[in-house]
Structure 1
Amino acid sequence: MPEQSNERNIMTTRTMRSRIALAGAALGLAIAGSVGGVATAAPAAAAGQCVDYQYSAGGDGGCVANIQTLLNAFGPRIPGGVSNLEVDGQFGEQTRAAVVAFQTYWGMQVDGVVGAETWNILCAPQMGPGPVDWFPYDAARASGCNI
């Protein structure tokens, strides 16, 4: 009988540890979900998910730096585009002006915000067959572009 009791205690301990681990994981996901659900910009550590968020004036971080790099690449190809943005990760007036020029050129809703529609074009450099030599593929991939 003592062997059964000991075995039951081991199972109870294992079950309890599993439940605590699951509860901790669920709490972590709940906290992460509530923070991610409210935020409009991805943290720099999650730069691979930049395309899932919107960015506008006042935003900052690695994703904004990727946007600036992409806009600099497109800039010379767009009349009135800005191609000499400082890549500082700060979504300031120059970055907003470059986004507006980009959106105007591509016939998008012009709001100065990098959202899903703007990301779709920023992530699509091909204007013909094959890769293009002027496009910053590393910044695009770091942003989560599927290229």
Structure 2
Amino acid sequence: MIRLRLGALGAVLLTSGALSLSGPVQAAPAGPDCSYTSPSYRAALSYGQTGAGVKQAQCLSNVWGGVPKLTVDGVFGVRTLKKVEWIQGCHGLKVNGVIGPETWEVLYHPALDCYNPYPA
């Protein structure tokens, strides 16, 4: 049995024909709210780092879900680490807390839904 869970946006996209279930689903690129770096910026980031790349990752993680929302402060602290690990788990990636090429890809093109509970 296939389980399909759609929110209001997914239902609208399906009925409008904008979303097809026949192939991989790619999210639209982040809007101007996440313009701390170029979308081509994909440097590896990890706990303790700071800067515009961290702001970009924090902002993208907020655009695509998960509660609580991160403060976009450019500091890769404990909250950012937990959120990155949650995102990695949701997308079947190695859960290591490092924002590398695969994690950047899912930040820009996330899955539509995640059934992993957010860490407390």
TM-score category (smaller protein): 0.5 to 0.7
Partners of 1:74 and 1:83 within 8 A in 2: no
Segments of structure 1 that go 5 or more residues without pairing to the other structure are 1-45, 76-80, 128-147
Name the SS of the counterpart of 1:50 in structure 2.
Answer: coil
Q: Cα RMSD (Å) of the superposition?
A: 2.0
Change (3 A) 1:62 1:98: same
Residue 126 of structure 1, CA deviation = 7.9
Give percent identity, aligned residues only.
Answer: 38
CA distance in 2 between counterparts of 1:50 and 1:60 reads: 15
The answer as to 2:106 corresponding to 1:116 is no
Letter in 1 for 2:103: T
| Higher relative contact order, structure no. (Cα contacts within 8 Å, ≥ 6 residues apart) | 2
TM-score, length-scaled by structure 2 = 0.57
Residues 105-127 of structure 1 show CA distances to partners (whole Å, capped at 9, x for unaligned) of 11101000100010111111585
2:46 to 49, 52, 56: 56
Q: CA deviation at 1:83?
A: 3.7
Aligned to 1:21: none
Identify unmatched segments of 5+ residues in structure 2: 1-35, 113-120
**Structure 1 stretches of at least 4 aligned residues deviating more than 6 Å after TM superposition:** none
Structure with greater Cα Rg: 1
What's the secondary structure of 2:41's corresponding residue? helix
Q: Name the CA shift for 1:61/1:107 in 2 (closer, same or farther; >3 Å).
A: same
Of the three residues 69, 73, 77, the one matched with 1:92 is 77
